[in-house]
A and B are shown apart, each in its own frame.
Chain A
Amino acid sequence: MNLANMTDYHHFPIYAIMVLFLGAFVVSVAGAKPSGNLKNPAGARAWIALCATGLSLFFLVMLIKPVMLEGEIIAYWMGSRAIAGGYAIGIALEVDALSLFFALLIATAVFVSAIYSIRYMVHDDCVPQYYVLYCLLAGGVLGLVLSGDIFNMFVMVEILTFAAVALTAFRTKVYGALEAAFKYLVVGCMGSTAILTGTIMLYAQYHTLNLAQLASLIPGTLNNATKLAFAFLYIGFSTKAFIVPFHPLAADAHGAAPASISVLISGVLTKSGIYGIIRLTYFLFQTMNLGSMQFMLVFIGSVSMFVCVTMALAQHDFKRLLAYHSISQIGYVLAAVGLSTSLGISAGLYHAMNHTLFKGLLFLAAGAVLHETGTTDLGKLGGLSKKMPHTTALFLIGAFSISGVPPFNGFASKWMIYQASYQKAVETNNIGFLAVTIIALVTSTLTLASFVKVSQSVFFGQLPREYENVKEVPFGMRLAMGILAVLCILTGIFPNTVTGVLTQPAAKAVADVGEYITAMGFKSNLPVPEVSFVQVGVWEPINWLLILCIALLALTIVAVAGKYDRVSENEGEQVETKYQLFYGGEKNVYSQVGGGDLFWGFKHNWRHYFDFMHDLHSGIVNDYALWAVVALALAIVYMMIVL
């Protein structure tokens, strides 16, 4: 093979996957003898992992031009074994705009997290194994989204589940890490088994494993076996996306894993589940024109949104709280994707991207706090903004983004989701979709509330004595967070560019299933759809930025000019301070409001709901397995009725 042939961009998808698996291999070989640098023996391996992830990202970025902008679909047959007698006999990669969109997200998150890992993992033992598993996890997820073969998807799902479970338990001394890993393994394994069962049942009906060929054969030929297969596959991918009722696993796994891995579990693994659901519903079965399927996805998305945000409000561990928020945001993505309009899909994918960026940033900030203080308990932390100003600023960018404060990226995508669901409600005259808009708005408010609580109890307030000597984290970690923060701001200020280059081509690819089938060499008589991304309202980020600046300026003027001193006014008066705003109930007005107490009134009024939810999430693995089985049973019954 000559060089010109090897640098043909059609090979780049397989290079991007191979470089990660090769990286895993090279790291494990490099770990055979101790490196010369005693101060940092894991250094060389960290750089190998960084190079592998960086190269992988490079290959995928090179694909933006042909796939995203020119709309080409790369069909790549391994070993050039293509189609014989009308059946796919080889294993294929098929990269359309949707695959590439998810692959880019994944590669970016993996690369940034690798930068962060270099300094973050210095104090751990077994670091070589960490990087082996890290590369395997990255390769598994990338293989999943680029694959054009459903059995290959299953194999990649298993690889990423194993790597994720092992990495969850990596810090075995961390409170609950082993337990979280075991629960994740049991329910994750049930999910993988469901995917395999669904796959093999499709094979029994259609004698092919190729996604494009399945997509050309399945629609219109549904029988009970294929409906059963659909239910199994759907539940399988749901466990990977951690949507309700699988959210407790996410909370356990995110909380126990090292922060650099939480970024991958939250930003990357959940996306692979969402990708699987999109491929399943829009491509393989093409059932999304049914109202009942739209209802199912939107309903589960809305439930995930609301349940997880309320669960997050009741948490007092930094990372566990972030984990619940993570699934809440995945609920947004699922609900938007389930709307089945081009605008909805585009909005959902945009939010998926933003979620990877801001949630990655927040988890890395939580990791920075853990790295310096050794705890993530909200009740013990406080006042770190004086000691870690850069981390605080970066955290606030992430918090504003996730809460949907303009002009950060969370606002842009949530705004699109509100518009898409509102538009859908207007088009279909269905009040249910309007309820989605309202739930999304309420969830956004609750998200903001809980991040006010986090920033108050971690970064502001009084600094506990034991953290007097806390320092800012090393530059490498701040660099990783800085990259994500810059991306958060850029994707928020230029939403039209981002949607134009990334999400709209992906949404077009979702709408144009016929192209996906014919690109692989199979026959399709699906019409080319009309795609429109017109929004009801207008979104001008520059105006919002100006408004934000004016508001901040006004606030500063009031604060500086007023010099309103609350303390002196209260002196001498024996008022009951308990019921005053913003104070925690102690007599001492300087006392810091405890991490869990900021919304004590709200929590008191909702105590029955919170108690009920707390008891429901019992932490017993049998219960979570039962939820999985019940979800599977419900899915089977629902599919039998509606499909």
Chain B
Amino acid sequence: MIQFNYIAAFFLIVLGFYTIVTKYNLVKTVIGMSVMDYGVNLLIITIGYTPGGTAPIFTAGELTQASYFVDPIPQALTLTSIVIGACVTAMSMSLVIRLHESYGTLDTREIRRLRG
């Protein structure tokens, strides 16, 4: 069943790309970036998952050869990635607010003073 996770992860990434490319509203662009990010997070956490594994929390005495747990490194990576994703959203939304103030629109087709 783990394949569905991979399919869903890449579906989310592609959906994010699709949103960024086709939507002309700045807020939707930001949503697209977030969706793309969630897809990657799902991908990371899926890679670390082992079916039937327990939480990777052991002290030195408890750990035996028979211990069977999910890979902790992707979980740490996901946390980093989530934090970065939140920063991206915050920063892009603040830029969107300032853009709306100075251009009076959220349409990407009208925010093109720099071209050529």
Contacts and interface: CB of A to CB of B under 8 A. Distances in A.
A621 B47 contact: no
B36 A190 contact: yes
Given A200-B43, A619-B113, A181 B95 contact: yes
Contacts of A190: 17, 20, 33, 36
A185 B92 contact: yes
B116 A182 contact: no
A570 interface: no
Interface residues of A, number: 47
Q: Is the interface of A mostly helix, strand, loop or mixed?
A: helix
Nearest to B41: A196
A62 interface: no
B60 to A, nearest CB: 13
A203 interface: yes
B41 to A, nearest CB: 9
B1 interface: no
Contacts of B22: 622
Given A178-B98, A186-B20, A162 B112 contact: no
| B interface, over-half SS | helix
A622 B24 contact: yes
Contacts of A197: 13, 40, 43
A158 interface: yes
A621 B108 contact: yes
B116 A614 contact: yes
A618 B47 contact: no
Contacts of B15: none
Nearest to B97: A178
Interface string B21-58: 11110100100010011001001100100000000000
B87 A196 contact: no
B102 interface: yes
A196 B102 contact: no
A563 to B, nearest CB: 43
Nearest to A151: B77
A169 interface: yes
Contacts of B81: 196
Nearest to B77: A151
Given A185-B91, A186-B29, A626-B21, A619 B112 contact: yes
B20 A252 contact: no
A622 B91 CA distance: 19
Contact of B115 (A165, A182, A617): A617
A19 to B, nearest CB: 23
Contacts of A186: 20, 29, 33, 92
Contacts of B43: 197, 200
Given A186-B33, A200-B40, A204-B47, A620 B87 contact: no
A434 interface: no
Contacts of A625: 17, 20-21
B111 interface: yes
B99 interface: yes
A255 B111 CA distance: 16
Given A186-B20, A189-B88, A178 B114 contact: no
A172 B98 contact: yes
A203 B74 contact: yes
A617 B116 contact: yes
Interface in A163-181: 165-166, 169, 172, 175-176, 178-181
Contacts of A22: none
Contacts of B95: 165, 169, 178, 181-182, 185
Nearest to B18: A629
A203 to B, nearest CB: 7
A182 B26 contact: yes
B73 interface: yes
Nearest to A180: B114
Contacts of B47: 200-201, 203-204
A100 interface: no
Interface in A314-338: 314-315, 320
Contacts of B103: 179
A393 interface: no
A89 B29 CA distance: 38
A622 B108 contact: yes
B112 A158 contact: no
A193 B29 contact: no
A587 to B, nearest CB: 31
A209 B76 CA distance: 13
A155 interface: yes
A196 B17 contact: no
Contact of B36 (A169, A193, A613): A193
A145 interface: no
B55 to A, nearest CB: 19
A619 B20 contact: no
B7 interface: no
A166 B115 contact: no
10 contacts: A172-B102, A178-B99, A186-B92, A189-B36, A197-B43, A207-B71, A619-B113, A621-B29, A621-B108, A622-B24
Given A200-B44, A203-B77, 11 more contacts: A166-B91, A169-B98, A181-B95, A186-B29, A190-B36, A197-B13, A197-B43, A204-B47, A320-B114, A618-B112, A622-B23
The 4 closest A-B pairs by CB, nearest first: A619-B115, A619-B112, A614-B116, A204-B47
